[in-house]
Structure formats: C-alpha cells, structure tokens
Amino acid sequence: MATRASVGTPVAVGGSVTIYWGGIIAGAICAAALASVLHAFAGAVGISLSSTAPTWRDSSTALTLVSGFYLILVALASYSFGAYVAARMRVPLANAGKATEFQDGINGLLVWALATLLAGLIALAVAQTATRLSTPSVGSAETSVAGENIVAYDLDRLFRSDRRPAGFEGNIGYSRAEAARILLTASSHRGIQSDDRNYLVRLVSALTGLAPPEAERRVDQIIAQAKENISRARRTAVILGFMVAAATLLGAAAAWYVSIAAGRHRDGRETLHSLWDW
C-alpha cells in the first residue's frame, strides 16, 4: 500500500515505482463489474460469445464477428474505466513528469492484470454452470462425452423412430454416447472409418427398427451434417479465440494510456471538462 497523504497535498516523486494497491484493486473490481454488466447485455440481445441454446451453431460468421468486435469494445471500455479509477485514486504528485507517467502506466497494467484474472474466474464459473445446463439429459455422466452437445441434434435425428423395437424403449444413453464419439471423428484427417460406419448402421437399424438400406442412408446423411457442424464450431472457436486475445492485448494498451492520461488530470497538468473534474 502506498504511503498515505492528504488528497490536497502533493507528494514528491521518488526514484522507484510506487504501487498503489488500493487504487489497483478498486479499479480492477470496477473493470470486472462493468465487463460483467456489458456481457449480460450482450447475452440479452443475442451477441454473447456462447450460448446454451441448441441453435447456437447455426449463427453466421457475421454474427460471430459482431460478437468478437463487441468483446473488444467491452475490453476497451472496462479496462479504461478501471485504469482511470485507479489513477484518480492516487495522491497527487509534485514535480510530476515522465517518471510519474511510467508509474501510472505500471499501475494501469496491474489493474488490467487483476481485472483479467477476476474476469477469468467469473468466466470459469459461468462456463461450469453452462456445461451443466447443456449436458445431455440422456444417460449418466459416465456415458456422455464432452463434445456431445456439438452433435446433440444430429444424435437426436440419428436415433429418431416411431417404431422402436421391443426391448429398446428404455435408456439408450450408452449407445448415444458411443455414436457421439464416432461422429466426432467425422472432421478428423482420416474421417469415420468404414468399420465404425458399418457399426453405426447396425446400431441405428437395431434401435430404430429401420431396414438396413434406410439406416445406411440416414447414417450417411448424419455423418455429413455432423462434419459440417463440427467444422463450423471449430471456425467459430478460432475466430472468437483470436478476438479474445486481441481484446485482452488492446485492453492492456488502453489501461496504460488511460492511466497516464488520468494521472495528468490528477496532477493538474491537463484539465478536464467540469463534469469530469473530480
């Protein structure tokens, strides 16, 4: 914690960097809170990064880009707000110059780092909740697979039947999870192997009562659709991953710049509009 002094009394600038943890923690909390509010707004209007809705995979590339650019705007707004709060909470410094600006910049970067950590913890908690919400209702945790939600609708279509054979009316959780593991290999370099495809045909025929030729046509159709869905999910993940990295780096630059600008306002080297001069 930096040495305390009255707000109206400037203190001399020392030779080392002064870390004002009180302002940094307050700024990081403000940044994380603003980011949470803005992300909640994005979820309400449908431009959030992820969704538990079954139609999330049908979103266009344009919507994915809009979500990514919104993430960048959120990062710029929240990190800038947090850095400004942290800089203005510091005691005004006498003989302020380049050394002071460097100190303010370092404090702004620490706000960025702490706010990123807080945002990551919040995102992890939300992701765990979303995972539980989107877990397939069929079968137990031992029979489901991590990527089953990507091909969940394809699995529904694969095993859909109005004339299920006697003895198969119960839980087909293991067969569903087994089929999901096979379908998830559709986008691999080798694709689905012939023995796996033949096994799917026999499985679908047994569980749905379809004749082997009909079961074969359904399996081929679902394999093609699953491959497309997995590829779309992969492209979306790449785009959003790049946007997250860009937003984080731009947020660091914004925190550095805004904290320096706020330090000039704090020390009286630059003036603000009377509405913001506090």
More confident residue, 132 or 88: 88
Please give the average per-residue pLDDT across 237-247, as a whole number. Answer: 87
User: How far apart (Å, rounded) are the C-alpha atoms in residues 215 and 232?
Assistant: 26
Position 152 pLDDT exceeds 90: no
Transcribe 99-131 into DSSP letters: HHHHHHHHHHHHHHHHHHHHHHHHHHHHHHHHH
Q: What ranges do the domains of the chain cover? A: 11-136+239-267, 148-229
Check residue 11 and give its pLDDT: 45
CA distance 244 to 208: 43
- For 16, which DSSP code? S
CB 239 within 8 A of CB 61: yes
pTM of the model: 0.69
Asked whether residue 231 carries a pLDDT value surpassing 80, the answer given is yes
Select the more confidently predicted residue: 45 or 192.
192
Helices (H) and strands (E) in the chain, counts: 7, 2
* The total number of residues written for the chain in this structure: 278
| pLDDT above 70 as % of the chain | 72
Tokens of 174: 């293991």
In this prediction, residues 101-125 reach a mean pLDDT of 87
Reported as a single tens digit per residue, the pLDDT across 6-56 is 344 444 444 566 788 899 999 999 999 999 888 888 877 777 765 544 444
